[in-house]
Structure 1
Amino acid sequence: MKYGLIGGKLTHSFSKTIHEQLGNNDYELLEISEENFHDYMIKRDFYAINVTIPYKEKIIPYLDFISPQAKRIGAINTVINKDGKLYGYNTDYDGLKALLKRLKVDCKEKKILILGSGGTSKTARVVIEDLGCRNYYFVSRTKTAQTITYQEAISIHNDCDIIINTTPCGMYPNTDCLPIHLHNFKKLEAVVDVIYNPLRTKFIVKARNRKISAIGGLYMLVAQAFYASRLFQDKNLNEEQIDCIYHHLVQEKENIVLIGMPSSGKTTIGSMLAKRLHKEFIDTDELIKSRIQMEISEYFSKFGENSFRIVESQVIEEVSKRTNLVIATGGGVILKEVNIENLKENGKIVLLNRSLDNLIATSDRPLTATKEKLETCYLERKLLYKKFCDIVIDNNHDLTNAVDEIIERMKI
């Protein structure tokens, strides 16, 4: 391997895609066990590598030179082989700094909690120090001279202004994990999570639900890769590439989630969108029917609505972990807030808004089988649809116009 990323588990890494867009088509992903790490580093059989968990600190003894910034942090994520000598750098610093700038976070005179005690937490410390923060605490499961516990964070430091999560809690596939509960923190201004898969962790989704400024780690990932690529290629690349690659990745990975009343056009428009954008189309009602092996109306009749909603939530949770989809949901998906939280991890919620007069009652939809039931349902759900959506699309007229508007509004 000439160029690439080494780490423990790299199955879901975006790094190869990013570096290829930065002009390095030789970039590879190499999973290395801890047993083989020493032999790999002794051989030095590479031109330049990025380093991720669990080797950001373990790689230090193998280096001949460490940049002052990386030495101050105590962790490495980029190594350049120059004539057999290994030079270590930390471009995570530049990536996190760019992420905080994007969120417009002001660290001066703020109390900041850094969740975690690994290599990235050390990077966060140096970044916020350089941005003027002097009042910060590392939070860990185990209390040490350098860390406080999560209980102490909640009971003593619940007046903090900013939380930065550097733990893997919430990372795919364990996306239900929350590093800490936000309702304990009444003064919180901003939440930053270095995790990039999912695009928005549950931690970020819940922060935004509370109207707190919050951002996930994808922009940091792209920015650190950009600065690493500068070192790899030894030339001054244009920083505008960071935004371009970030936007491209979001548009490629992000799901478009269609919500709305039965007969609002979700399946038809979803299919049209998927074809236009080269995304896979999924109808959650069809997945549910496949799982329960009967029509939804029959299932309602035999087992009731509560049982159906349990199955629906299971399907939503599974689908939400995937990316690059157009998802048409059932009309009642908004009845459980957890469904929306799951869907927002990798998706934008688009409400197809169709007036009651243009909706059609059909027997295959048990809660809207008659005009009277349809009207009742419409009035009960109308505010929930508006509450949970990111984008509202008027779908009372031409379907093609609605598709065009969704595509335009999905652009960052």
Structure 2
Amino acid sequence: MIRYNKTVLVGMPGSGKTTLTNLLAKRLDKKIITGDQYYDYILQNPQLTISRLFCKESNLGKDQFIPCLGSEEFIKNYGEQLFRDFEACVNIDLLEKNRLGKSLLDLGGKVFINTDVRKKLKELNYTSVYLHVDKDSLLERLIVNDNWKKRSVYRIAEEEGFGWKTRFLKDFEERNVSYKMADIIYSINSSELAEKTLSNILKLIK
């Protein structure tokens, strides 16, 4: 069962990562730690060791690193590239803390494109599963109930006049290259129940 504990689902917003991770957690009776919650906590507490380490490695002076409510405020203060570096740093720290697979991890969707994160996953014997969904289906899912507004980068894209759909399509092309490096690629069938999808993925891992 430990192999299932060390499974990380990756994919675009709307691909079903969180839904399937929740189902797996129930099946294994495991706690979930989300990358988003973890780095939001750290952003709000820059005195923590990981924050000071990041400031040192990124040449961002500790006096410049101010508490942020979350990723959106950080991006607006420091830019998205620095946020992605911070995100990778924090997720690697999270993987180290969970190296025994005591909890299930729900990492940020874009963090998998970082080479160091992928190396850490391999080093710690995690199995990465890419939940592949075609872009038209993803767009439909994000449009429903304005789900795209839950993503800070898409809200910022709208505010800046770039457009969230344009940003999504750009992200899709960029991320797809890295996602295809996952250990397992599973094409999501929209008519398939989530429980069935999870069972199929676990069979592939086994």
Shift in Å, 1:255: 0.8
Gaps of at least 5 residues in structure 1 are 1-247
Shift in Å, 1:298: 2.1
Q: Percent identity?
A: 29
1:346 to 112, 115, 125: 125
Alignment of 1:13-412 (within 5 A): 250-251=2-3, 254-293=5-44, 294-321=69-96, 322=98, 323-324=100-101, 325-344=103-122, 345-359=124-138, 360=142, 362-369=148-155, 370-387=164-181, 389-397=182-190, 398-411=193-206
1:363 partner SS: helix
Separation of aligned partners in 2, 1:343 and 1:410: 15
2:109 partner SS: coil
Q: 1:15-68 deviations in whole A, cap 9, x for unaligned?
A: xxxxxxxxxxxxxxxxxxxxxxxxxxxxxxxxxxxxxxxxxxxxxxxxxxxxxx
Separation of aligned partners in 1, 2:78 and 2:23: 34
Whether the 8 Å CA contact 1:256–1:347 is kept in 2: the answer is yes
Whether the 8 Å CA contact 1:358–1:396 is kept in 2: the answer is no
Q: 1:373-405 deviations in whole A, cap 9, x for unaligned?
A: 111110121121002x01112234222222111
Whether the 8 Å CA contact 2:3–2:126 is kept in 1: the answer is no
Opposite residue 90 of structure 2, the aligned amino acid is V
* Aligned CA distance change for structure 1 residues 396 and 285 (closer, same or farther; 3 Å): farther
Q: 1:116-168 deviations in whole A, cap 9, x for unaligned?
A: xxxxxxxxxxxxxxxxxxxxxxxxxxxxxxxxxxxxxxxxxxxxxxxxxxxxx
Higher relative contact order (CA 8 A, sep 6+): 2
Determine which structure has the larger helix proportion and give its number: 2
Whether the 8 Å CA contact 2:31–2:104 is kept in 1: the answer is yes
Shift in Å, 1:346: 3.3
Opposite residue 125 of structure 2, the aligned amino acid is N
1:350 partner SS: strand
Shift in Å, 1:353: 1.1
Shift in Å, 1:367: 3.4
Shift in Å, 1:365: 2.0
1:330 partner SS: coil
Separation of aligned partners in 2, 1:400 and 1:375: 29
Shift in Å, 1:300: 1.2
Whether the 8 Å CA contact 1:320–1:346 is kept in 2: the answer is no
Opposite residue 283 of structure 1, the aligned amino acid is T
2:20 partner SS: helix
Question: Larger Rg: 1 or 2?
Answer: 1
1:327 partner SS: strand
Separation of aligned partners in 1, 2:185 and 2:114: 20
Opposite residue 305 of structure 1, the aligned amino acid is E
State the TM-score, normalizing by the size of structure 1: 0.37
The runs of at least 4 aligned residues of structure 1 exceeding 6 Å deviation read none
Separation of aligned partners in 2, 1:296 and 1:263: 19
Determine which structure has the larger strand proportion and give its number: 1
Whether the 8 Å CA contact 2:113–2:179 is kept in 1: the answer is no
Shift in Å, 1:268: 1.5
Match of 1:105 in 2: none
Shift in Å, 1:260: 0.8
